[in-house]
């Protein structure tokens, strides 16, 4: 089964109500598995299938960017067998995605410090980067792995300091700093969704989500559906986005 498929829309959405960029904290895999008497790894496998389905739907309805929180800098604290299972799933689905990316014009990018990942996984990431480099404007899925919002900001600050030290730095402003982040070149998410019942952003896209509309739902991520995306977009469309103005 490919990561992305060309299926028809579940229902029509007014294009004027559609965010260009949706971000999702994929939460609830472990609790979903526990409710069913299954190991947590089964929840992560189900969650990976949900990502595959939701990414396809977002592409089909016209969303330009989808960013998902797959593995945080804090997730290394989990049991080693669970971490290994998550990384194995990522490697499996990334390998499947590469087969279809170029054909379907799918851009797949990774946010986070990937230097600590296994060499096979880093090789797959390099391969996706090579494919992405020559694709034109199309749907882009960003997968955050070994990612933390604070860590991203610190890495950007270090990069800026290195440029200043080498004489390349100039007066720093928000746009200049944003160009050093993992998300450089793409718009900030207008809508950030967290399934799973928790009501916090957990160190996700701290810089980019400054004016994102936040939608929380009790639905656990493996049960998250196209209808849940529609409901979140409908909630987003009802809100008045003033960005500090009147």
Per annotation, catalytic residue among 7, 29, 75, 104: 75
Give the domain range for residue 207: 23-238
The answer to the question of residue 1 being in a domain is no
The answer to the question of residue 125 being in a domain is yes
Q: What is the CATH number of the domain that holds 129?
A: 3.40.1180.10
With bands split at pLDDT 50, 70 and 90, how would you rate the model's confidence at 172? confident
The answer to the question of residue 245 being in a domain is no
CA-closest candidate to residue 90, choices 140, 36, 27, 47: 47
The answer to the question of residue 4 being in a domain is no
Q: Report yes or no: 71 and 110 within 8 Å, Cβ to Cβ.
A: no
The answer to the question of residue 5 being in a domain is no
With bands split at pLDDT 50, 70 and 90, how would you rate the model's confidence at 167? confident
pTM (two decimals): 0.89
Tell whether the model's pLDDT for residue 82 goes beyond 50. yes
Per annotation, catalytic residue among 7, 14, 17, 27: 27
Bigger pLDDT: 156 vs 164: 156
Question: Per residue in 5-33, pLDDT tens?
Answer: 444 444 456 777 899 999 999 999 999 99
Instruction: Identify whether 113 is a catalytic site residue.
Output: no
Question: Per residue in 201-236, pLDDT tens?
Answer: 999 999 999 999 999 999 999 999 999 999 999 999
Beta strands in the chain (DSSP E): 21-25, 65-72, 107-111, 140-147, 191-194, 213-216
CA-closest candidate to residue 222, choices 60, 5, 24: 24
Q: What does the pLDDT average to over 100-119? A: 85
Supply the pLDDT for residue 4.
42
* Number of domain units in the chain: 1
The answer to the question of residue 17 being in a domain is no
The answer to the question of residue 15 being in a domain is no
Supply the pLDDT for residue 16.
77
Instruction: Identify whether 188 is a catalytic site residue.
Output: no
What are φ and ψ of residue 72, in 5° steps?
A: -90, 170
The answer to the question of residue 7 being in a domain is no
Neighbour order of strands in the sheet with 191-194: 107-111, 140-147, 65-72, 21-25, 191-194, 213-216
């Amino acid at each position: 089964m490919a990561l992305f498929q060309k299926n028809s829309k579940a229902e029509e959405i007014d294009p004027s109500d559609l965010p260009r960029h949706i971000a999702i904290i994929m939460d609830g895999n472990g609790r979903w598995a526990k409710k069913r008497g299954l190991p947590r790894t089964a929840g992560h496998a189900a969650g990976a299938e949900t990502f595959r389905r939701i990414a396809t739907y977002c592409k089909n309805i016209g969303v330009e960017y989808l960013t998902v929180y797959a593995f945080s800098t804090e997730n290394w604290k989990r049991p080693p067998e669970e971490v290994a299972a998550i990384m194995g799933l990522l490697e499996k689905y990334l390998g499947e995605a590469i087969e279809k990316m170029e054909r379907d014009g799918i851009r797949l990018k990774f946010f986070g410090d990937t230097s600590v990942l296994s060499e096979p996984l880093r090789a797959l990431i390099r391969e996706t980067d090579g494919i992405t480099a020559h694709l034109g404007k199309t749907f882009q899925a960003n997968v955050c792995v070994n990612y933390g919002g604070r860590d991203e900001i610190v890495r950007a600050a270090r990069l800026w300091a290195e440029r200043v030290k080498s004489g390349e730095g100039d007066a720093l402003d928000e746009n200049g700093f944003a160009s050093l982040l993992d998300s450089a070149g793409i718009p900030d998410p207008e809508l950030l969704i967290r399934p799973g019942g928790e009501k916090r952003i957990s160190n996700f896209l701290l810089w980019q989500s400054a004016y994102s509309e936040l939608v929380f739902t009790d639905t656990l991520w493996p049960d998250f559906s196209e209808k849940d995306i529609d409901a979140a977009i409908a909630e987003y469309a009802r809100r008045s986005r003033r960005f500090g103005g009147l």
